[in-house]
Amino acid sequence: MESKLELPVLRRSSKGHGQGWLLRLPGILYLTLMIVVPLLVIIQDGLREGIAELIHQITLPIARHAILLTLWTSALMTIINAVMGLMTAFVLVRFEFPGKRVLNAIVDLPLAIPTLVTGVMLVMLYGPQETLGNFLANQIGFEVIFAPPGIVISLLFISFPFVVRNIQPVLQELDRTQELAASTLGAGSWKTFWKIVFPALILPLTSGSLMSFSRAIGEFGAVVIVAGNIPLKTQTAAVYTLGAVESENRLGASAVSLLLTSIAFLILITANAIQKYRGRKNAAD
Amino acid sequence: MPFKNIGGEKMQQIKKGWGRWVLIFLVLGYMGFLILAPITALVKGAFENGLMPVLRVITSPVFLQSLALSLKIAIIVVILQIFFGTSIAWVIVRQEFVGKPLLNGLIDIPFSISPVVVGYMLLMMFGRNGYLFPIMEKLGIKVAFAVPGMFLATLFVSLPFMIREMIPVIKNLDRKQEFAAQTLGASQWKVFWRVIFPQIKHGMIYGLTLTLARALGEFGAVLVIGGGVQGRTETTTLYIFRCLDERRYIEAYTASIFLGSFSVLIVFLADWFKRRQIRQHRNDNGFVG
Amino acid sequence: MKSFWKLTFLLTIIFSMAACSGGETSQTGDEIKLILGAYTTPREAYGEIIPLFQEYWHEKTGQQVVFEESYLGSGAQSRAVIDGFEADVVALSLEADVTRIQEAGLITHDWKASETGGIVTTSIVAFAVRSGNPENIQDWIDLTRSGVEILTPNPSTSGGAMWNVLGAYGAALRGQIDGVPADDPEAARTFLKQVLANVTVMDKAARDSILNFEKGIGDLAITYENEVLVGRQSGQDYELVIPSSTILIENPLAVVDASVDKHGTREVAEAFVEFLFTPQAQEVFSQHGLRVVNSDIAAATVDQYPIVEDLFTIENFGGWQSVMEDIFGESGVYTRAILEVQGGE
């Protein structure tokens, strides 16, 4: 089916009026086939027994716990990621120090490393038989693997680039005269940061954080290895869905997927709106 | 750093000297703990018995077969995403039409939807009881538990990367050149190849490497739709998963390192290309538009 | 720069061509493909038996059999076959998973017609404990002690997990556990609940469960006896504890009619199934920790596989059909117990 669609795409140099549909149609068709149709299938499947049954499925104790666990670990991750991502971006843009280029490159690593590999690595580091994991569990009583901290750490790993890479360009282009004026007038560096720099970063920080949150609630590869998969304790929604798909409970799988997808969709639309607002504001400035 | 020329800056630098180092060390420590420590643990595990076992794994037929399948799926996916990703990004930047915000939101769906659900959706469409199963059966195409299904799954999960990378690139295009070329009577084809393409090619490379990395690393969706059949639907990630199950840890770790460093390498290469372009054009963009 | 693009273009074409040519090989005269869909535990055994069969078949017919193997949790494997995974032969953990495929219309022959009722290997539900048995776990009753951390897989995907539940519940029902009266379903259910309350990790499949145990999680894993033996063979230092009363695990095997008819592989598939019952193959199963159905080999390995004091079977529960309803059904014993355990936390 794709080969038929390719021909008109090559005529992309149309100016956007008159012939615009030549370019738009295949693109929209492609997105419809790839995204809308599967989504419709799952919506239809989730609702096949009616909305009441759908609600029933997601409020079953095991499903509800899995959803809540996913949401709170993702939220906690988002907060940590926002703070550390902001700090990382700031350090990478504003300071000069040896090894900065390497550090900047490392930020992208989580995008390239398969999430399954992430899970494997984390178990090798924090597993109860490993030196660090053993130390944390027995000396400090802090269990990472097969416990919520492991979930949060794996989510932090996979979503680390989102906040950093969203803030970096904005910070780079920030007009520094205001800052200099403020510090010349005697404002401390903290005050300068909070009053001048931070307000400009709120939008990219929010949209980056929202992106990482919505990325996190669907995460499977890393979490399936790191979390213990025990219902009502460490089973996340994605792992619950796998269990439901592999057992008779297909309605439950559709219902939970539908809920998570809707949350992610709403968040993404919000993130997009923020981006758009930012774009307009920039244009107005 | 242009601001160094501005008076008073030096004073400032000295005054906040210690705070700056605290910040730098915090970030270094965080990234070390979050990203580098796990990677080190993995590398240490793989080379536990020296170099020979590692070499044996990466030359073993089963591993190479899985890698070939991964690459095959990823490369076809990348080729398709280059065409569609670029054209969709173009449509979003240059055209106004009803439902554009919705389209914009849809693009990111694959990014946040759980891969397991992706596999499940495909199973509902192409599985034996799926809606499209009878049609596919007639056409003689096996989708579920076969490579075509895994290909569709990978296509789905990697969809946003190219588009999101291309949107800012197309936004930053210098339109004067386009108009000039058109005014001079260049055909649309020529305008694209001579004027537009040179400006977007680095963005394209970066987008395609991100897509490639994502496609190579896909696990949940191909597990559900492919079933992980040895020698048939086993990609490298599924091979790693199987090795873990069979207690062949050295093989699992080695394959993980290989796959990870392969993806990292291509992303870094692309990053390097992108940086070169930035130096040339000074037009900047982040990963997500 | 131009040459770079030429190179990219060239590579693209080469890869696309490679991708397109890598289609499926047909069932030609000298090569035949057989797809095996199995549960996770016997994979090492199949790894050894398959080359033996390939040799046997090559000698007999001159054909080279190429195997494609898939190992998933038994329930998951069974559903994958129903969803369109065209396995020629399924080797699953429990009868109900084969029956499900049969009910979907994919197995049309009477697969239980053989001497052993379609069962190729057996095992028992046993415990893996830490080296030296520091928690001193000897029998089911020790599993209810507070603070003992148990691993067992999730019955919604794992066949092994169902056997484990049946082992605990059955031993209690039969009055083999101190303080639990015989034939008292309520008391047995309470006992099952006490065991489940100590479960800390529930994995997808039996293999995942024992692997997590190896990583240092928990004090014991309830699992197949053969999982423990295979683990020990691979150098793990945990120990096997066999409870005084436990259930006989019976693993069925069947040719999937719909697949073999489609692939034209019935002959080789049936030969493979037959081969698995030969002393040669049964011997290999036995070496990999499985109790075999071949009586000669079973007799020869009796030292390795001690006789259980009180061994019961699925028939004591009235067969799989009633088990699926009374125990794992929507208001079954297990379903209610796990909900109560988890609701109480």
Query: Residue C167: is its pLDDT beyond 50?
Result: yes
A208 touches chain B (CB under 8 A): yes
C95 touches chain A (CB under 8 A): no
A13 touches chain B (CB under 8 A): yes
Region A37-50: what's the mean pLDDT? 86
Closest residue to A214, CB basis, from B9, B112, B196: B112
The answer to whether position B288 is within a domain reads: no
CB contact under 8 A, B24 and A169: no
3-class state of residue C27 by DSSP: coil
Model confidence over C30-40: pLDDT tens digits? 889 999 999 98
CB contact under 8 A, A247 and C339: no
A169: chain B residues, CB-CB within 8 Å: 284-286
The alpha-carbon gap from B179 to the nearest alpha carbon of chain C, in Å, equals: 25
Q: Which of B5, B33, B112 to mutate to test the interface with A (most CBs of A within 10 A)?
A: B112
**Domain check: are B39 and B54 in the same one?**
no
**Domain check: are B33 and B93 in the same one?**
no
Region C115-129: what's the mean pLDDT? 93
Q: How confident is the model at residue A284 (pLDDT cuts 50, 70, 90)?
A: low
Q: How confident is the model at residue C22 (pLDDT cuts 50, 70, 90)?
A: very low
Region C5-19: what's the mean pLDDT? 51
pLDDT value at residue B3:
41
Q: How confident is the model at residue B16 (pLDDT cuts 50, 70, 90)?
A: low
Judge whether B222 and A114 are in contact, CB under 8 Å. no
Query: Residue B45: is its pLDDT beyond 60?
Result: yes
Closest by alpha carbon to B147, among B68, B66, B221, B233?
Answer: B233
Q: How confident is the model at residue A109 (pLDDT cuts 50, 70, 90)?
A: confident
Measure the CA–CA gap between B249 and B245, rounded to whole angstroms: 9
Query: Residue C190: is its pLDDT beyond 90?
Result: yes
**Domain check: are B243 and B230 in the same one?**
yes
A230 touches chain C (CB under 8 A): yes
**Domain check: are B209 and B250 in the same one?**
yes
Q: Which of B132, B233, B241, B247 to mutate to test the interface with C (most CBs of C within 10 A)?
A: B247
Beta carbons within 8 Å of C68's beta carbon, 6+ residues apart: B229, B230, B231, B232, C33, C34, C35, C36
Model confidence over A5-36: pLDDT tens digits? 333 333 344 444 456 777 788 888 888 888 88
**Domain check: are B133 and B270 in the same one?**
yes
Instruction: Kindly tell me the sign of the dihedral angle through the C-alpha atoms of C283, C286, C288, C291.
Output: positive
In this structure, what are the phi and psi dihedrals at residue C251, rounded to the nearest 5 degrees? Answer: -100, 115
**Domain check: are B21 and B81 in the same one?**
no
Region C173-181: what's the mean pLDDT? 90
Region C258-285: what's the mean pLDDT? 94
Query: Residue A264: is its pLDDT beyond 90?
Result: no
Highest mean pLDDT, choosing among B273-277, C163-167, C233-237: C163-167
Q: How confident is the model at residue B131 (pLDDT cuts 50, 70, 90)?
A: confident
Range of the domain at B11: 1-46
| Distant-in-sequence contacts of B7-10, Cβ < 8 A, 24+ apart | B8/A180, B8/A183, B8/A184, B9/A180
Query: Residue A285: is its pLDDT beyond 70?
Result: no
**Domain check: are B277 and B249 in the same one?**
yes
pTM (2 decimals)? 0.83
C68 touches chain B (CB under 8 A): yes
Query: Residue A3: is its pLDDT beyond 70?
Result: no
Domains C26-121+250-300 and C122-249+307-343 share a fold: yes
Domain count, chain B: 2
Q: How confident is the model at residue C20 (pLDDT cuts 50, 70, 90)?
A: very low
Region C202-229: what's the mean pLDDT? 88
Query: Residue C92: is its pLDDT beyond 50?
Result: yes
Closest by alpha carbon to C285, among C43, C98, C88, C115?
Answer: C43
Q: Which of the residue ranges B227-231, B253-257, C49-53 would you say has the lowest mean pLDDT? A: B227-231
CB contact under 8 A, A246 and C212: no
CATH class, domain C122-249+307-343, is alpha beta
Q: Which residue of A has its CA nearest to C74?
A: A246
Q: Which of the residue ranges A272-281, B152-161, C263-272 would you say has the lowest mean pLDDT? A: A272-281
Model confidence over B26-42: pLDDT tens digits? 999 999 999 999 999 98
C79 touches chain A (CB under 8 A): yes
CB contact under 8 A, C204 and A242: yes
pLDDT value at residue C9:
55
Judge whether B243 and B102 are in contact, CB under 8 Å. no
pLDDT value at residue B7:
41
Token digits for C98? 């084969």
Query: What mean pLDDT value characterizes chain A?
Result: 82
Q: How confident is the model at residue B111 (pLDDT cuts 50, 70, 90)?
A: confident
Q: How confident is the model at residue B71 (pLDDT cuts 50, 70, 90)?
A: very high
Query: What mean pLDDT value characterizes chain C?
Result: 87
Query: Residue B286: is its pLDDT beyond 50?
Result: no
Highest mean pLDDT, choosing among A34-43, B129-138, B175-184, C85-94: C85-94
E-strand ranges in C204-268 read: 220-224, 239-241, 245-255
Q: Which residue of A has its CA nearest to C218?
A: A128
CB contact under 8 A, C215 and A129: yes
Give the type of residue at A27: G
Query: Residue B280: is its pLDDT beyond 70?
Result: no
Q: Which of the residue ranges A264-278, B69-83, B159-173 would you say has the lowest mean pLDDT? A: A264-278
Measure the CA–CA gap between B45 and A268, rounded to whole angstroms: 38
Closest by alpha carbon to B95, among B106, B105, B87?
Answer: B87
Query: What mean pLDDT value characterizes chain B?
Result: 83
DSSP conformation letters of chain A: -HHHHHHHHTTTTS-SSTTHHHHHHHHHHHHIIIIIHHHHHHHHHHTTT-HHHHHHHHHSHHHHHHHHHHHHHHHHHHHHHHHHHHHHHHHHHH---TTHHHHHHHTTHHHHS-HHHHHHHHHHHHSTTSHHHHHIIIII----TTSHHHHHHHHHHHHHHHHHHHHHHHHHH---HHHHHHHHTT--HHHHIIIIIHHHHHHHHHHHHHHHHHHHHT--HHHHHHS---TTTT--HHHHHHHHHHSS-HHHHHHHHHHHHHHHHHHHHHHHHHHHHHHHHHHH-
The fold adopted by the segment(s) C26-121+250-300 is D-Maltodextrin-Binding Protein; domain 2 (3.40.190)
Q: What is the CATH number of the domain that holds B144?
A: 1.10.3720.10
C67 touches chain B (CB under 8 A): yes
Q: Are strands C245-255 and C291-292 parallel, antiparallel or unpaired?
A: unpaired
Measure the CA–CA gap between A53 and B242, rounded to whole angstroms: 37
The answer to whether position B289 is within a domain reads: no
**Domain check: are B16 and B138 in the same one?**
no
CB contact under 8 A, C201 and A230: yes
Give percent above pLDDT 90 in chain B.
25
Model confidence over C66-87: pLDDT tens digits? 999 998 878 888 988 998 899 9
**Domain check: are B86 and B208 in the same one?**
yes
Instruction: Kindly tell me the sign of the dihedral angle through the C-alpha atoms of A45, A50, A56, A58.
Output: positive
Q: How confident is the model at residue C345 (pLDDT cuts 50, 70, 90)?
A: very low
- Cβ-count burial C205-219 (b if 16+ within 10 Å, e if not): bbbbbbbbbbbbbbb
**Tokens 């980056």, located at residue:** A208
Q: How confident is the model at residue C11 (pLDDT cuts 50, 70, 90)?
A: low
Model confidence over A51-67: pLDDT tens digits? 888 888 888 888 899 99
Q: Which residue of C has its CA nearest to A127?
A: C215
Judge whether A196 and A92 are in contact, CB under 8 Å. no
**Domain boundaries along the sequence of chain C:** 26-121+250-300, 122-249+307-343
**Domain check: are B170 and B268 in the same one?**
yes
Q: Which domains does chain A have, with CATH numbers?
A: 1-46 (no CATH), 51-284 (1.10.3720.10)
pLDDT value at residue B288:
40
Q: Which of the residue ranges A132-136, B248-252, C162-166 would you say has the lowest mean pLDDT? A: A132-136
Q: Which residue of B has its CA nearest to C16?
A: B76
Q: Which residue has the higher pLDDT, A263 or A134?
A: A263
B128 touches chain C (CB under 8 A): yes
Region B127-154: what's the mean pLDDT? 90
Query: Residue C21: is its pLDDT beyond 80?
Result: no
Query: Residue A230: is its pLDDT beyond 80?
Result: no
Region A272-279: what's the mean pLDDT? 76
User: Which residues 47-86 on chain B approach chain A with CB closer than 8 angstroms?
Assistant: 80, 83-84, 86
Measure the CA–CA gap between C183 and C173, rounded to whole angstroms: 5
